[in-house]
Structures are given as structure tokens and as C-alpha cells.
């Protein structure tokens, strides 16, 4: 039976990227060796790094003055790398969920941190809009998509201080005006690759301003200077991301990706709102296009387990909600086809008809 992969992360990848990776595991770039067996300093692998960086610049339309670096450690490592490199006196954070909270806690180790607004009062079910970004902050940190609770900031914020964004779960899901950001980081395993690789896009003029000494691996300038080859990067993961970006470019870039993501989100949310058995969990205007969270409607709570089993029997994978929210979460990252969302909607409609 066909599987419909709604996993929240690691998550679905384009078949093209999977197939190309399998081929490179056997014979990488005509070397006769697996990509796992060659030097990261070989000209063949250096070409992979160069193409990956060039594809990021092209697909995301990254302006001059920004560097793209590929590092290990996951987005969680960036939670402290960012303040390490940028926080001299004070930083500002918008707290919109679990990941934003973790980022904020790490920053507190490095200086004063102001929470400009938080949606914790309503269990992170909305994006705060009424706040002032302090003009004396070294940077303002946001988490563009709240992966766990299902809210998303779908526009590029105007900030008087450098804007830093954790885009782990919505990078490359829509065109973004990179010039409005000072730094963007993302773990690859949701929208652009496999677990283990993190991309950091940074405006170079922001670096070198803090007075604390920086360990070599923490200093972004190390990776910029060495073309992300100061140490051994997660080579296979870089390759997966290169192929994922090639696929994005091939199908029409972020304009096409956004069109597809909007269509998927509209389909699932229309059904959540129409179906008597289910109800959404966040305010409508802040709904995430990446992670649609919903629970059983009042009066139908006792059927949660039954629906989970029914959906699984139809090939739905990964729709169980995060343990802190319960219910269901359909993660619809770039590579998920519309037909998978339609298959889930069909399940919801059949379930409704029999209850
Ligand atoms: C998944 C996720 C993270 C954590 O990423 P790791 O690579 O596991 O460290 C951080 N931020 C957001 C928004 C996420 O969705």
C-alpha cells in the first residue's frame, strides 16, 4: 500500500533526492567509490559544497554580502551559536512555541534577553502581533514556523535591529526577502534534506563585533573562510540537500513551491473546518502551512484512537500530534504531494460519514 508520509521531521524527501543519494552511495561522481568513502577535500566533493551553496543563493535569491555555511549540530546548536556570535549586551526574542522557548533559554547564558512578546498564555496557539522591538537590542530572534503547535509567521517582519530567524521547519517553503534578515538558520531534516546538516545564511557585516573570545568551530567566520570545509562536514547530508535544492529549482523554484504549499494547506484546513468530527487548535489567521494541528471535535473525543487506526490502515504515516498538544498533526513539507493531503481528507470524510 502507498504510504502518505506526514512525519514531522525527519520527514518526506523528493524521490529524486532519495534515488540520486542511493546512486552516490554506490558510485559517487564517477569515482567508483561511495560518497561515504571519499575525502571531503576531493575536487568531487568540493563541487557538491559549491553547488549546494550556489543553489541556496539562487533558489532563495540571497543578496550580495551574505554567506551560506553548511555545518553539523542541528538547529539546537544554533540556539547558542547565534548569541555566542551576536549578543554583546542584549537580545530580543519573540516566544511563539517550544523551539522559540529553547532558543531564548540558551541566549540567556550570554547576556540580557528581553522577551518582547509570548503566546504561552494561550498555549502557543497564536502569533503575538502587538509588540515593540527594542532599538538597543543586538538582534531580534523569531521562529518563523511553530512546528509543534502549528502557527507560522508568513511575512517578512520589519525590524529596526538585525532579524534572526530559526526557519528549520519552513525554509524554502515560500519566497522570502532575505535582505530583511541578518541571519537565517535551519536544520535540514524538515524541508531541505536529512538530519545532521544545518544551513546558516548570515550577513557578513554583523560578524566580529562581540568582545568575548569565540571557539574556532563556533565562530561563523571560520566556516565562511574555509568554504564550510574547516572540518569534515556531514558529507552525505550535504549531498541530499544539494539534490533537494536541484529538485526545487527544477519544478519552478519557491514561487511554485509556495503555490503547492498553499493548495495543500487550503485543502486540509477547509476539511478541518467543514468536518463535524474535527476541530483546529490554533487561531485561523496564524495557521501554519507546514504543520496542520487538529483534534477531535467536542462530542467525538472518544473516537481519537479509532481515527488514528483507520487513517493508518489507509497508509497515513506520522499524523499523531506532538505529546504536548495531542490529537493530530499533518506535516506537509515541500516534498509532500497534494494527493497525500487528498488521501487524508478522504479518510476524514469517510470517518465522518460513519460516525
Ligand atoms: C525541529 C526544529 C528544531 C530542532 O532541530 P534539530 O536539528 O533537531 O536541533 C529547531 N527549531 C525548529 C523550528 C524546529 O522545527
C-alpha distance from residue 292 to each of 14, 193, 236, 285 (Å)? 20, 21, 30, 13
129: annotated active-site residue: no
Distance (Å) from CA 76 to ligand 1 centroid: 6
| Residue linked to cell 575536487 | 43
Which of 138, 166, 170, 286 is flagged as catalytic?
166
User: Do 239 and 283 fall within a single domain?
Assistant: no
Residue 305's domain comprises: 254-353
Q: Could you tell me the pTM of the whole model?
A: 0.98
Distance (Å) from CA 164 to ligand 1 centroid: 15
Q: What is the dihedral of CA 195, 262, 146, 352, to 10 degrees?
A: -100
Instruction: Tell me what pLDDT residue 324 has.
Output: 87
For the chain, 355 residues long, the average pLDDT of each consecutive 10-residue run is 95 98 97 97 97 98 98 97 98 98 98 98 97 98 97 98 98 98 98 97 98 98 98 97 98 98 98 98 98 98 97 97 93 98 98 97
User: Do 271 and 243 fall within a single domain?
Assistant: no
The pair phi, psi for residue 239, each rounded to 5°, is -60, -45
Which of 170, 190, 247, 264 is flagged as catalytic?
190
User: Do 56 and 185 fall within a single domain?
Assistant: yes
Instruction: Tell me what pLDDT residue 1 has.
Output: 83
How far apart are alpha carbons 117 and 93 in whole angstroms? Answer: 8
Instruction: Tell me what pLDDT residue 183 has.
Output: 98
Residue nearest to atom 3 of ligand 1 (CA): 75
166: annotated active-site residue: yes
In the chain, how many domains are there? Answer: 2
Give every CB contact of residue 339 below 8 A, 6+ residues apart in sequence: none
99: annotated active-site residue: yes
Q: Flag whether 9 is in a domain.
A: no
Which among 251, 279, 294 is the end of a domain? 251
User: Do 168 and 295 fall within a single domain?
Assistant: no
| Residue linked to cell 538585525 | 162
User: Do 208 and 258 fall within a single domain?
Assistant: no
Closest C-alpha among 237, 203, 239 to residue 220: 203
How far apart are alpha carbons 13 and 4 in whole angstroms? Answer: 12
Reduced to 3 DSSP states, what percent helix, strand and coil does the chain have, rounded to the nearest 5?
40, 15, 45
User: Do 247 and 279 fall within a single domain?
Assistant: no
User: Do 192 and 285 fall within a single domain?
Assistant: no
Q: Which residues pair with 184 in a beta bridge?
A: 165, 201
Can you count the helices (H) and strands (E) in the chain?
A: 9, 14
Between strands 151-152 and 163-166, the pairing is unpaired
User: Do 258 and 247 fall within a single domain?
Assistant: no
DSSP assigned state of 73: S
User: Do 97 and 43 fall within a single domain?
Assistant: yes
Answer left, alpha or beta for residue 226, where phi above 0 means left and psi between -120 and 50 means alpha.
Answer: alpha
Q: 312: number of CA atoms within 13 Å, CB side?
A: 9
User: Do 293 and 324 fall within a single domain?
Assistant: yes
Which among 251, 271, 302 is the end of a domain? 251
As for ligand 1, residues whose beta carbon falls within 6 Å of it are 9, 74-76, 99, 143, 145, 147, 166, 168-169, 187, 190
The pair phi, psi for residue 112, each rounded to 5°, is -75, 135
How far apart are alpha carbons 341 and 264 in whole angstroms? Answer: 6
Distance (Å) from CA 75 to ligand 1 centroid: 5
Distance (Å) from CA 348 to ligand 1 centroid: 29
Q: What is the CATH number of the domain that holds 305?
A: 3.90.1150.10
Amino acid at each position: 500500500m502507498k504510504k502518505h508520509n506526514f512525519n514531522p521531521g525527519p520527514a518526506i524527501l523528493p524521490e529524486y533526492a532519495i534515488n540520486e543519494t542511493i546512486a552516490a552511495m554506490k558510485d559517487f561522481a564517477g569515482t567508483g567509490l561511495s560518497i561515504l568513502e571519499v575525502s571531503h577535500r576531493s575536487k568531487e566533493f568540493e563541487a557538491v559544497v559549491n553547488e549546494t551553496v550556489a543553489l541556496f543563493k539562487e533558489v532563495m535569491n540571497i543578496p550580495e554580502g551574505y554567506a551560506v555555511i553548511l555545518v553539523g549540530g542541528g538547529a539546537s546548536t544554533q540556539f547558542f551559536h547565534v548569541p555566542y556570535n551576536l549578543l554583546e549586551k542584549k537580545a530580543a526574542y519573540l516566544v511563539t512555541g517550544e523551539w522559540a522557548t529553547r532558543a531564548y533559554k540558551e541566549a540567556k547564558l550570554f547576556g540580557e534577553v528581553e522577551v518582547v512578546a509570548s503566546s504561552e498564555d494561550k498555549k502557543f496557539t497564536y502569533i503575538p502581533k502587538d509588540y515593540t522591538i527594542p532599538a538597543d537590542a543586538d538582534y531580534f530572534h523569531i521562529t518563523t514556523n511553530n512546528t509543534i503547535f502549528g502557527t507560522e509567521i508568513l511575512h517578512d517582519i520589519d525590524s529596526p535591529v538585525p532579524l534572526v530567524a530559526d526557519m528549520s521547519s519552513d525554509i524554502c517553503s515560500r519566497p522570502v526577502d532575505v535582505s530583511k534578515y541578518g541571519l537565517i538558520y535551519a536544520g535540514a531534516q524538515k524541508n531541505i534534506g536529512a538530519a545532521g546538516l544545518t544551513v546558516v545564511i548570515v550577513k557578513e557585516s554583523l560578524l566580529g563585533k562581540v568582545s568575548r573570545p569565540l571557539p574556532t568551530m563556533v565562530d561563523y567566520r571560520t566556516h565562511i573562510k574555509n568554504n564550510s570545509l574547516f572540518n569534515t562536514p556531514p558529507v552525505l547530508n550535504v549531498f541530499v540537500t544539494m539534490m533537494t535544492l536541484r529538485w526545487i529549482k527544477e519544478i519552478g523554484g519557491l514561487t511554485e513551491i509556495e503555490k503547492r504549499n498553499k493548495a495543500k494547506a487550503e485543502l486540509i484546513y477547509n476539511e478541518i473546518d467543514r468536518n463535524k468530527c474535527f476541530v483546529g487548535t490554533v487561531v485561523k489567521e496564524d495557521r501554519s502551512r507546514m504543520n496542520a494541528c487538529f483534534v477531535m471535535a467536542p462530542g467525538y473525543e472518544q473516537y481519537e484512537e479509532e481515527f488514528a487506526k483507520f487513517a493508518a490502515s489507509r497508509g497515513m504515516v506520522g499524523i499523531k500530534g506532538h505529546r504536548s498538544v495531542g490529537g493530530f498533526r499533518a506535516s506537509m513539507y515541500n516534498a509532500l504531494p497534494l494527493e497525500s493531503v487528498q488521501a487524508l481528507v478522504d479518510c476524514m470524510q469517510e470517518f465522518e460519514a460513519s460516525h
